[in-house]
Chain A
Amino acid sequence: MAPILDIRNLYKNYGSVEILKDINVAIEPGDFLVLVGPSGCGKSTLLNCIAGLEPISGGSIAIGGDDMTNVSPKDRDIAMVFQSYALYPTMSVAKNITFGMKVRGVDQATQDRKLADVARQLQIEPLLNRRPGQLSGGQRQRVAMGRALVRDPKLFLFDEPLSNLDAKLRVEMRTEIKSLHQNLGASMVYVTHDQIEAMTLATKIVVMKAGVIQQIGSPSEIYNRPANLFVADFMGSPAMNLIPAKARTNGGGTTIEIARREGEPIVLNDPRAKDLPADVIVGLRPEDIAEPGFRHGETVQQADCRVDIVEPAGADTYVMTHLGGKPVTARMHSETEAAAGNVHTFAFDLAKVSYFEPETGHRLN
């Protein structure tokens, strides 16, 4: 099947400033693409380009197999939720939601039915006669969602639709969006700052930085095999530990030497790593540094380190130490005996280790 959205070599300039550089993304029907990246990296701009609300400076955009590069937004068959809601201030909530259908000449009975469906789904039935000005931020956001959901477009575009909801409603809406995606088989492009949203909703994640795509992949690819230091640092919370180390090839594998603040360096053996340069950055998720005995296998090795800080976080306790000149976070059980100032034994599991080139930041394994 043709990709539902196919972006090729897209460039976008505002005046002489390049905002988006050589964007190439394609998603299949039913895909849930999540765009993540630091504030100002061009996520909203990319959505606007897909919607046809901003002219692009180069490249092409196809939706549903048809070239849409020069097609006006209303003919692209898309629905969009804006970061700033963009509700029509003089219309009631109900009119806001049905405006698109009214403009497109949908008959009144269908309008009423769809409005009722969406209002129930989003729990905004009591608000239908209010004006947007009389709603809270979260309520407005749901109305903005409703305006998109009543339509049945080829592609949904969401710009941080849940950013203003309280934690509980956010989880509910997340589930709602996920089931909506599964039931409708709708294709979506979704911008978020929330790591959990990105990981739980996406079938595909695009990580952007300063208008350049850093990596495209499934959530597990992004999480387990980040393509560079930026992605490794950006995705995951607490962030991946990025520890400068020395690598030395020996016989079957590689030894990794990590400096400790006191005593000899830690020496870890990675039988699978090959052809590493002398200087590397070792990327280990906090959950891969744990209590001894927590994991087993030939990739697990132990070392003693002095504990700097202990941060209980409910189910887990994060234990901070210092390795290779950098603070390092380990994820321990909540009943850990680690205490600040004491020496504690850490177990390093290299099964999912990432190695990066320090200069370029590229992934090495």
Chain B
Amino acid sequence: MTDATFSPARRQSALGKTALRWGLYIILALFAVYYLLPLFVMVTTSLKSLEEIRTGDLVALPREITFDAWRTAWSEACTGIQCEGVRPYFWNSVLIAVPGVVISTLLGAVNGYVIAQWRFKGANIIFALMLFGCFIPFQVVLLPMARLLGMMGIAGTIPGLIFVHVIYGIGFTTLFFRNYYVTIPQELVKAAKVDGATFLRIFWSIFLPLSLPIIVVSIIWQFTQIWNDFLFGVSFSQAGTQPVTVALNNIVNSTTGVKEYNVDMAAAIIAALPTLLVYVVAGKYFIRGLTAGSVKG
């Protein structure tokens, strides 16, 4: 009886639920398409010949797939007077990003450990100042940084660029590690102290092994920042040490005559690939690391 009277209402609400769910999916799909459209255009354009781009439709699939544009972008495209493609600059970026990421992550880990677990006098003030560093716009530090690099004798070099990125990244990496380490009970340090371990030993044997999720967060963040950086790259480099973002700009802006859109697109994708790769490989840990603190707290 009760079942009979209730079932129409229930069916109605179930129907409403399904409709809601489908509505949600459709909206999400629309957003996804909207987001992916530029990427789609980039990829398809890079696979078309110049001829087809000129005559065809922007969003149409390539009639004939050709990798010529990729080859040109990688090793032949002209960046100003040189015509070696993005290849040398790509390696410059690798040489800048890898040490930059490693050093800033390590320093951030040590800083975070000290600030979160050793609570020396003034730790909070130092942490606040480092946080402040995160909010200083790039442009503000350009001139002082140029002067500093000149004084240190590393202006226009790759170590100079690494130095700049490390300095700029420490604020963020320290924040990540500090917030992660404050969720670890202080008793761990106490127990290790009683066991006879030193400051560095405790860091190395107890805290670093615990830190994988936050290390991944720091790596992704720093890698994206450093790899995608343009301003520091264009300001503090010279011929031969420019990163790939600067090269990309030069390829796109310095061509005269016919714009080779397919080459531009291919170069842009090449320049973006490493960050994409880092996300795909480490993305799972990234989400986990970002929420680790809140789950544990």
Interface residues, chain A, CB within 8 Å of chain B?
Answer: 48, 51-53, 72-74, 78-80, 82-91, 99-100, 103-104, 147
Complex interface bits, B193-227 against A, C-beta within 8 A gives 1, otherwise 0 = 11111100100011001100000000000000000
Q: What are the residues of chain A within 8 A of B196 when measuring CB–CB? A: 74, 100, 103-104
A72 and B193 contact, Cβ closer than 8 Å, known pairs A84-B185, A89-B210: yes
Can you list 7 A-B pairs, Cβ within 8 angstroms, ordered by A? Answer: A86-B188, A88-B206, A89-B210, A91-B209, A99-B195, A99-B205, A103-B197
Q: Report the bound CA distance from A78 to B205 in whole Å.
A: 21
Q: What are the residues of chain A within 8 A of B193 when measuring CB–CB? A: 52-53, 72-74
Contact B185 A100 (CB under 8 A): no
Task: Please pick, from A86, A89, A99, the residue contacting B190 in the complex, using a CB distance under 8 A.
Answer: A86
The answer to whether the Cβ of B128 comes within 8 Å of any Cβ in the partner chain is no
Contact A90 B192 (CB under 8 A): no
Q: What are the residues of chain A within 8 A of B201 when measuring CB–CB? A: 103
Main secondary structure of the interface of B (DSSP, over half): helix
Interface centre among A73, A85, A91 (most CB of B within 10 A): A73
- How many chain B residues touch A (Cβ–Cβ < 8 Å)? 17
The 6 closest A-B pairs by CB, nearest first: A86-B187, A100-B195, A90-B209, A86-B191, A74-B196, A73-B193
Q: Report the bound CA distance from A51 to B191 in whole Å.
A: 10
Contact A88 B194 (CB under 8 A): no
Q: Report the bound CA distance from A72 to B188 in whole Å.
A: 16
A88 and B190 contact, Cβ closer than 8 Å, known pairs A74-B197, A100-B195, A103-B197: no
* Nearest chain A CB to B53 CB, angstrom units: 55
Q: Report the bound CA distance from A53 to B205 in whole Å.
A: 19
* CB nearest neighbor in B for A74: B196
Q: Report the bound CA distance from A79 to B210 in whole Å.
A: 24
* Nearest chain A CB to B140 CB, angstrom units: 38
Q: Report the bound CA distance from A347 to B194 in whole Å.
A: 54
Query: Can you add 20 more A-B contacts, CB < 8 Å, to A74-B197, A86-B185, A90-B210?
Result: A73-B194, A74-B194, A74-B196, A79-B194, A80-B190, A80-B194, A82-B191, A84-B187, A85-B187, A86-B191, A87-B191, A88-B192, A88-B205, A89-B188, A91-B206, A99-B195, A100-B194, A100-B195, A100-B196, A103-B195
* CB nearest neighbor in A for B201: A103
A53 and B194 contact, Cβ closer than 8 Å, known pairs A89-B210, A90-B210: yes
* Nearest chain B CB to A358 CB, angstrom units: 43
A48 and B190 contact, Cβ closer than 8 Å, known pairs A90-B209, A99-B197: yes
Q: Report the bound CA distance from A78 to B194 in whole Å.
A: 7
Interface residues, chain B, CB within 8 Å of chain A?
Answer: 185, 187-188, 190-198, 201, 205-206, 209-210
* Nearest chain A CB to B285 CB, angstrom units: 16
Q: What are the residues of chain A within 8 A of B198 when measuring CB–CB? A: 74
Interface centre among B191, B193, B205, B209 (most CB of A within 10 A): B191
* Nearest chain A CB to B216 CB, angstrom units: 16
Contact A90 B206 (CB under 8 A): yes
* Nearest chain B CB to A194 CB, angstrom units: 21
Q: What are the residues of chain B within 8 A of A85 when measuring CB–CB? A: 187
Q: Report the bound CA distance from A72 to B189 in whole Å.
A: 13
Q: Report the bound CA distance from A72 to B194 in whole Å.
A: 9
Q: Report the bound CA distance from A47 to B193 in whole Å.
A: 14
Q: Report the bound CA distance from A353 to B197 in whole Å.
A: 52
Interface centre among B190, B195, B201, B206 (most CB of A within 10 A): B195
Q: Report the bound CA distance from A78 to B206 in whole Å.
A: 20
Q: What are the residues of chain B within 8 A of A104 when measuring CB–CB? A: 196
* CB nearest neighbor in B for A89: B210
Q: Report the bound CA distance from A317 to B194 in whole Å.
A: 47
Contact B194 A99 (CB under 8 A): no
Q: What are the residues of chain A within 8 A of B190 when measuring CB–CB? A: 48, 51, 53, 73, 80, 82, 86
* Nearest chain A CB to B202 CB, angstrom units: 9
* Nearest chain A CB to B220 CB, angstrom units: 22
Q: What are the residues of chain B within 8 A of A52 when measuring CB–CB? A: 193
Interface centre among B185, B187, B188, B206 (most CB of A within 10 A): B187
* CB nearest neighbor in B for A144: B191
* Nearest chain B CB to A233 CB, angstrom units: 32
Q: What are the residues of chain B within 8 A of A86 when measuring CB–CB? A: 185, 187-188, 190-191
* Nearest chain B CB to A276 CB, angstrom units: 49
Q: Report the bound CA distance from A91 to B197 in whole Å.
A: 15
Q: Report the bound CA distance from A279 to B209 in whole Å.
A: 65
* CB nearest neighbor in A for B211: A90
Contact A82 B187 (CB under 8 A): yes
Q: Report the bound CA distance from A301 to B190 in whole Å.
A: 56
Q: Report the bound CA distance from A78 to B209 in whole Å.
A: 26
Q: Report the bound CA distance from A80 to B195 in whole Å.
A: 9
* CB nearest neighbor in A for B207: A90
Q: What are the residues of chain A within 8 A of B185 when measuring CB–CB? A: 84, 86
A99 and B192 contact, Cβ closer than 8 Å, known pairs A88-B206, A89-B210, A90-B210: yes
* CB nearest neighbor in A for B209: A90
A51 and B194 contact, Cβ closer than 8 Å, known pairs A82-B187, A88-B188, A103-B201: yes
Q: Report the bound CA distance from A115 to B248 in whole Å.
A: 61
Contact A147 B195 (CB under 8 A): yes
Q: What are the residues of chain B within 8 A of A74 when measuring CB–CB? A: 193-198
Q: Report the bound CA distance from A51 to B190 in whole Å.
A: 9
* CB nearest neighbor in A for B210: A90
Q: What are the residues of chain B within 8 A of A89 when measuring CB–CB? A: 188, 210
Q: Report the bound CA distance from A79 to B192 in whole Å.
A: 10
